[in-house]
Amino acid sequence: MRNFWMLTKYEYKKIFQKKMVWVMFVVLSGICFLMSSVTYFATFTKEVDGKEEKMSGYQWMTRIREEDKELAGTSIDEAFLSRLKENPDSVGGKITDTVGMMQMEQYDVQSLTEQSLYEKRLANVQKEWEIYHLNKEEKEYFQKLEDTITKPFIYEPTGGYDKATRMMMVSALLQTLLAAVCIPAIFGDEHSLKTDQLTLCTNLGKRTLYGVKIFTGLSFSVITSMLLCLVSALPSLIVEGTEGFGAPIQLTQPDVSFALTVGQVFLMMFGMCVLAGVLHGAVAMFLSEKLKNPAAPMAIIVGFLIVTFFVNVPEQYRVLSQLWDYVPQNVTSWGLLNVRMVPAFGEYLYKWQVVPVLWLTISVAVTVLGYQFYKRYQVTGR
């Protein structure tokens, strides 16, 4: 066991001795931080109490946060809408964003009533059912979920959770790149540098050696995932606050029917990013051992990532589009709460329930398969 940790230490040493790993981690963290905090440093000219005032994004968000606190407990009902129609500027905070999102395409306060607002919201929700080609049973299921949601919505400050959750798609993307570049070297370098002739002679056996490398790769992936997520999320949480953990998700995503809170979605997204890191790490290591090369897995993973930018499977191909939906990049870029479900044992499993099981299963499968290749490898033909 002592040897296991000693070997792990040396595997980590091999990773961290490369300047590239440090440069990439620092630069990618910088990008995460900038994307989540650049608006706080920018200067805006805003109209406040009829006067134009210049202020930084940070000052503006602090003001919004105060206004949100004052609006806590406000019911988005007829009374509120009348107040909004009478004097739109008297209502601050993010509540108007919520009202706008509930209407989606046409933001029009003057003709709004409580009934029409919630009807528009429901219409948007049902439109999504059509887009995803839900069948009759699934629609009924979601209708039941809809019926459990308390209306009118009671506004609560959602703090920085909404932005923090959105920013984690950036960290997930960049962690994929970090994993693609840094992790294949764990196995690939042994072949390209021809040190496999030495390391495979270990009296600890191939199994221990493989275990050490897998542990190093996966732990590196998990740790970097968590760090990048924190770098993305912390600026929003610090500036916009951490109140609103228990606020219903409908306040930031009105077209969602699930009974989830903003905080729960934030934690789910965090978990997904970490699991995506595990999946990418496992796949990168498997490919590098199979191909005996640290460069090819990088090309494959990055190439696949770029393909997700261009390729979209139309929803009418239900199974294919659902499988494509489970690709890490599509899950983490705000696709976590769509209405896709998997029927299982008389129940429906949501995406955030299926994805962890699927990704972990794939990770375990490629790890086991990779061991078979590793076990049988013979140093010849060089």
Binding residues for other proteins, per CB under 8 A?
A: 18-20, 23-24, 27-28, 31, 35, 169-170, 173-174, 177, 180-181, 295, 298, 302, 305-306, 309-312, 333, 381-382
CB of 302 to other proteins, least distance (A): 7
Q: Which DSSP helix (H) or strand (E) runs through 171? A: helix 161-182
Residue 242 near residue 160, CB atoms below 8 Å: yes
Phi–psi pair at 74, nearest 5 degrees:
-70, 130
On whether the CB atoms of residues 63 and 44 are closer than 8 A, the answer is no
Q: For the CB of residue 335, give the shortest distance to other proteins in the complex, in Å.
A: 11
3-state secondary structure of 46: strand
Nearer to other proteins, 159 or 294 (CB): 294
Nearer to other proteins, 157 or 281 (CB): 281
CB of 343 to other proteins, least distance (A): 31
Q: 46 has which bridge partners? A: 53
Report the C-alpha gap between 20 and 355 in whole angstroms: 32
Per the listing, tokens 């129940």 go with 347
We find the least distance from the C-beta atom of residue 357 to other proteins, in angstroms, to be: 25
Q: Output 198 or 307, the one with its CB closest to other proteins.
A: 307
Q: How far is the CB of 270 from other proteins (least distance, A)?
A: 17
Phi, psi of 105 (to 5 degrees): -65, -50
Q: What is the rounded distance in angstroms from the CA atom of residue 305 to the CA atom of residue 284?
A: 13
**How far is it, in rounded angstroms, from Cα 123 to Cα 119?**
6
Decide if 284 contacts 217 (C-beta within 8 A). yes
C-beta of 95 vs 285, nearer to other proteins: 285
User: Measuring CA to CA, which residue among 232, 238, 209, 251 is closest to residue 102?
Assistant: 251
Tokens describing residue 204: 């600890």
Residue 45, SS3 per DSSP: strand
Phi, psi of 268 (to 5 degrees): -65, -45
Looking at the Cβ atoms of 72 and 299, the one nearer to other proteins is 299
Q: State which amino acid sits at residue 62.
A: T
Identify the DSSP state of 155: P
Nearer to other proteins (CB atom), residue 25 or residue 258 = 25
Nearest-approach distance from CB 8 to other proteins, in angstroms: 22
Q: Cβ of residue 290: shortest distance to other proteins, in angstroms?
A: 19
- Sign of CA pseudo-dihedral 342, 348, 353, 356: negative
Pick the closer one to other proteins by CB: 320 or 344. Answer: 320
CB of 24 to other proteins, least distance (A): 5
For other proteins, which is the closer residue by CB, 24 or 237? 24
Q: How many residues does the chain have?
A: 382
In this structure, what token pair is assigned to residue 225? 């995932």
Q: How far is the CB of 180 from other proteins (least distance, A)?
A: 7
Return the number of the residue (117 or 185) whose C-beta is nearest other proteins.
Answer: 185
